Structure 1
Amino acid sequence: MTKTDIQTRPLGAQISHMLKSRGVDTIFGIPGVHNQEMYRGIEEAGITHVLARHEQGAGFMADGYARASGRPGVAYVITGPGLCNIMTPMGQAYSDSVPVLVISSCLDETANYRGQLHQMLDQEGAARTVCDWSYEARDAASAYALIDRALLEFSAQRPRSKHIQVPISALEGTAPPSPETPSAVARSFGDLPGGVAQRIMAAKRPLFLLGGGAQGDVDALRDVVRRLGAATMVTVAGRGLVPADDPLYYGAYLSRQENAQIVAEADLVIVVGSEMAEVDLWRRDLGHKGDFIRVDIDPEVLSQPVGGEKIQMDSGAFFRTLNDAMAPDHDPATGWSEKEISAAKARWRSENEADRPGIVRIADALHEVMPEDAMIYSDMTQFAYVSNEVWDVPRPGHWHHPSGFGTLGYAMPAAIGGAVARRGLPTVAIAGDYGFQYTVQELGAAVELGLPLPILLWDNGKLKEIEDSMVGAQIAPNSVIAHNPDFCALAQAYGAHAVQPESLSALQEALLSAFEADAPTLIYMTKDMTD
């Protein structure tokens, strides 16, 4: 290819080359007539493309890839239904602060010319309802600028999904190469406001509430907590930030209503990297009565009317600055009782077993043999709801649950994306019998990729969480039982392995064997497994 040819590639091809120059090595998607120009440059640019079976699967794969790699997940989709199908994953990535970039084609004109293939009234506006922003790039310069803007914002502020659409004629038209990669922008929010460190060090019963956004410097975080003698609670996304054997660690039991009273007993509550949203607390208010400090990079979170001090600061910088401000001989607080904390955790664990019988012992068996570096993706299922509280993750950022948007069908495609990003490292999906069927077709992609992916399928034969909720609301359970397929046979039909362990020891063996397999393995679980 001559230099002139390189200078005059179609824009669709130039976009792939630009993404490669910005560090993108994998794109998830489905080609179609409307976005085929975007596929012209993928192989030439040296990018791996993962073919999903549905755009929803492609979006979840991009989400899982981003969470596992720390780099943006990118998806290519077609006009109209392709964009509509990926909107659910875009909403999930938005609510969970995941850097996902969706690039779609769009029609050249929709105001006057009607009846076109894949036509929508307002595709750009539809996408905007579930992501950070959605814009149309009508020429090469706009496309390049928007891509660079998205990538910059992913690293410089709270990462959230974004959408760029490009008209078909623009994708087909020739375009110059993208500009040089812009310089990286460092994220910094200054120093602690005056007196904050002294207030924290003076507290007798300090309590840290830590979310998924508190992963900036885990070593500094742990040093601060230990030196202060502070108690800690974490959200589901914050698991792994504090060692499970820390005697002042309350765990991920924020949703237990008793926690409101414990929070009220702290003389200082410091919330770092968490919205403390409904899906974190399952109550309206945190319950604090004493002094309050909130640390976050997102001004929207800091604007919430919860009182106290608001600090816009990266969590890593916050904990490093606080650690440096503490005197070497600082005496830790003594206001928390290790015995009371241990008793509370035991009590909440028992409540879990009473609320959803049979799950705790199975989760314990899996936890016992799960590799420390395993990355787990879970779905909206009772097995995950219990595990989110009783399963202590040894490393932060290694369990991903669709907490915010709460999408069914998330686990398996997200785990596929995570496994692609972490080739050679253990990755696991946990799904329920109902949600698994939302994206079961992505088994085909996992088989094609040869991923040694254990898929832990929890089958209680019904929408049990919904049934329990209906009963609790004194509603006669309706439409909570569906006819299920033979899941093992279904997996085998796709070319995957399948096993139905009859005991917990067999379950453990199945999990470990699945990590060594040449294809994904569906591991069928029920509460009837023996000890």
Structure 2
Amino acid sequence: MQRPLGAQISHMLKDRGVDVIFGIPGVHNQEMYRGIEEAGITHVLARHEQGAGFMADGYARATGKPGVAYVITGPGLCNIMTPMGQAYSDSVPMLVISSCLDEVADRKGQLHQMKDQRAAAETVCDWSEEAQSADAAYALVARAFAEFQAQSPLPKHIQVPIAQLVAEADPAPAAAPAMRQPAVHQDAVAAAAQHIKNAQRPLFVFGGGAVSAGGQGGPARAVLERSKAASFTSYAGRGIVAPDDPLHFGASLARPGSADVFAQADLAIFVGTDLAEVDLWRAEPGHACPAIYVNLDPQVLARARAADEVHQADARVWLTALAATLETETAKTAWRAEDIASTRARWRGETDAERPGIVPICDALRDVVPVDTMIYSDMTQFAYVAKEVWDMDRPGHWHHPYGFGTLGYATPAAIGGAVARRGLPTMAIIGDYGFHYTMQELGVAVELGLSLPIILWDNGKLKEIEDSMVRAQIAPNAVVAQNPDFCKLAEAFGARSAAPKSLEALQNAVTEAFAAQGPTLIYIAPDLAGY
């Protein structure tokens, strides 16, 4: 039956598996809200559109499904552009649907008016399009979901003029058959397998794009067992490799010494990783040997050199085919487990020396968080250390604003993850300054009754920036801000709070927070571990 287009869009999203929408209603997009409850979709009311975007991001990372957000014209869209940029840099599937003015050229001074809203959004996402009819809206939604399935998942933006949202429209067409990703060519996989067998020091690097291939029983671990190759993961790829794998270097690509490891390899295999600046913090990994690249993104594959091989393929499918091709009994390796263990110990010591006091707190937390805990962290020194020393036993369970690097991500993203994983443990780690950016979203966690521990690391300043200024011989300035009493602030929202004074007290507070009905802010400072 006919309904206003705004309502029909919600029904179309429901038919494509959307069960939660994050957003804020306004007079310009209220027609989009007409059909949400009727379609059977849950709406989570954020306190700011930036929070809505991060919640959608966190939901998408937890489920693998697109996170969907509804926002209004103008400032609503501008506010969510930071999360869109974060999702774009980290390849997170997000669909932002906004209203827009019917025209902006003839009249100035309209409510929420921008010169070119569509173009502004396009700077931080895969594409941004305007639907000037119901058919166009349906086609764009269908296109977005098809691309989420078949390509590297990236955020999209669709804007619909207010007059179109109000107008009666026929229902959206049924979903088309699922898109298929590029096929794996068995002869190419067999050639790669032969190269791996011939290598004395094959070295794998697994990135976030290989998460579906990791974990216990996954093809990534089978390939490593059969090839006797050494491995790294990117920060986003932690948990793909077993933490006790004796030939695993960990998530230490950014350690300067990792370049020396790459120099020893006679074959490098990069699976599902962009080798971005925030992975390496240098231009190249450091290998002089041939390489094999496996990725869905042609832009990544285009970096290969003439002697390299490229495979445009899904990491899980490719690794499954490779595991079936490798022969266990013929695998040999020149990598020595004792050398790798010594290297990892040295790197752990370097990490602890660079930012003292954090490693023992990470160890204490890791020992008490429940199995299957999903963690969302922020741009804070605590997370920078944890990403290197906190081994994960399963992939896709630690999420961080890697590329765009925005402050304020962790709290709302963890809320989105907790909404997606009701009944399963979720935790946030955020710094004192980043907490200021999105602290208002704590009210959402209280409203929804989410059992969410929020670890707040308060070093009283923008410590990473201060350290950088000192290294650059700049007198530190503008790095200290007046903080509130964070525990009282959390309680004012209706949340629980704790300020443990020892590692044992921290462990108890975390255990209690996971069992609580509602969020708990756990305040910790650098002196907790005695530094």
TM-score, normalized by length of structure 1? 0.97
Question: Could you say if the C-alpha distance between residues 328 and 383 of structure 1 is closer, same or farther in structure 2, counting changes exceeding 3 Å?
Answer: closer
| Unpaired segments ≥5 residues, structure 2 | none
Partner of residue 412, structure 1: 411
| Unpaired segments ≥5 residues, structure 1 | 1-6
CA distance in 1, matches of 2:511, 2:115: 50
Structure 1 residue 319: Cα displacement:
1.1
Structure 1 residue 216: Cα displacement:
3.4
Partner of residue 208, structure 1: 204
Indicate which of 37, 59, 66 corresponds to 1:43. 37
Q: Which amino acid aligns with 1:200?
A: I
Contact 1:380 1:407 in 2 (8 A): yes
Deviations 1:129-178 (A, max 9, x none): 00000000011000011001101110111000000000000001100011
CA distance in 2, matches of 1:417, 1:158: 21
Secondary structure of 1:164's aligned partner: strand
Secondary structure of 1:253's aligned partner: coil
Contact 2:361 2:529 in 1 (8 A): no
Contact 2:460 2:481 in 1 (8 A): yes
Partner of residue 26, structure 1: 20
Contact 2:412 2:438 in 1 (8 A): yes
Partner of residue 146, structure 1: 140
Secondary structure of 1:403's aligned partner: coil
1:172 aligns with 2:171: no
Contact 1:191 1:321 in 2 (8 A): no
Structure 1 residue 227: Cα displacement:
1.0
Structure 1 residue 317: Cα displacement:
1.7
Q: How does 1:428-507 map to 2 (within 5 A)?
A: 428-507=427-506
Contact 2:360 2:529 in 1 (8 A): no
Greater shift, 349-358 or 320-329, is seen at: 320-329
Deviations 1:426-480 (A, max 9, x none): 0000000000110000001111000010000000000000000000000000100
Contact 1:372 1:394 in 2 (8 A): no
CA distance in 2, matches of 1:333, 1:74: 48
CA distance in 1, matches of 2:136, 2:442: 37
CA distance in 2, matches of 1:59, 1:252: 28
Structure 1 residue 328: Cα displacement:
4.9
Secondary structure of 2:168's aligned partner: coil
CA distance in 1, matches of 2:209, 2:293: 12
Contact 2:252 2:388 in 1 (8 A): yes
Deviations 1:301-337 (A, max 9, x none): 111254511111111121111112123532x222101
Q: How does 1:231-310 map to 2 (within 5 A)?
A: 231-307=230-306, 308-310=308-310
Contact 1:216 1:314 in 2 (8 A): no
Indicate which of 59, 64, 68 corresponds to 1:65. 59
Q: How does 1:85-164 map to 2 (within 5 A)?
A: 85-164=79-158
Contact 2:213 2:240 in 1 (8 A): no
CA distance in 1, matches of 2:529, 2:277: 36
CA distance in 2, matches of 1:454, 1:328: 44
CA distance in 1, matches of 2:283, 2:388: 20
Partner of residue 333, structure 2: 334
Indicate which of 62, 70, 80 corresponds to 1:76. 70
Deviations 1:86-117 (A, max 9, x none): 00000110111110000000000001111101
CA distance in 2, matches of 1:328, 1:474: 54
Question: Could you say if the C-alpha distance between residues 352 and 328 of structure 1 is closer, same or farther in structure 2, counting changes exceeding 3 Å?
Answer: closer
Partner of residue 4, structure 1: none
Secondary structure of 2:185's aligned partner: coil
Structure 1 residue 187: Cα displacement:
2.1
CA distance in 2, matches of 1:309, 1:156: 22
Deviations 1:34-77 (A, max 9, x none): 00000011111111000000000000000000111111100000
Question: Could you say if the C-alpha distance between residues 316 and 348 of structure 1 is closer, same or farther in structure 2, counting changes exceeding 3 Å?
Answer: same
Deviations 1:256-286 (A, max 9, x none): 1111111011000000000101000001111
CA distance in 1, matches of 2:126, 2:242: 34
CA distance in 2, matches of 1:265, 1:89: 39
Q: How does 1:350-365 map to 2 (within 5 A)?
A: 350-365=349-364
Q: Which amino acid aligns with 2:200?
A: K
Contact 2:184 2:318 in 1 (8 A): no
Contact 1:188 1:313 in 2 (8 A): yes
Structure 1 residue 530: Cα displacement:
4.8
1:322 aligns with 2:316: no
Deviations 1:212-250 (A, max 9, x none): 111233311111111111000010000000111110000
Structure 1 residue 375: Cα displacement:
0.2
Contact 2:227 2:328 in 1 (8 A): no
1:427 aligns with 2:421: no
Secondary structure of 1:456's aligned partner: strand
CA distance in 1, matches of 2:513, 2:332: 46
Partner of residue 3, structure 1: none
RMSD over equivalenced CA pairs, Å: 1.0
CA distance in 2, matches of 1:394, 1:457: 24
CA distance in 2, matches of 1:318, 1:23: 27
Q: Which amino acid aligns with 2:78?
A: C
Identity %: 64
CA distance in 2, matches of 1:305, 1:204: 22
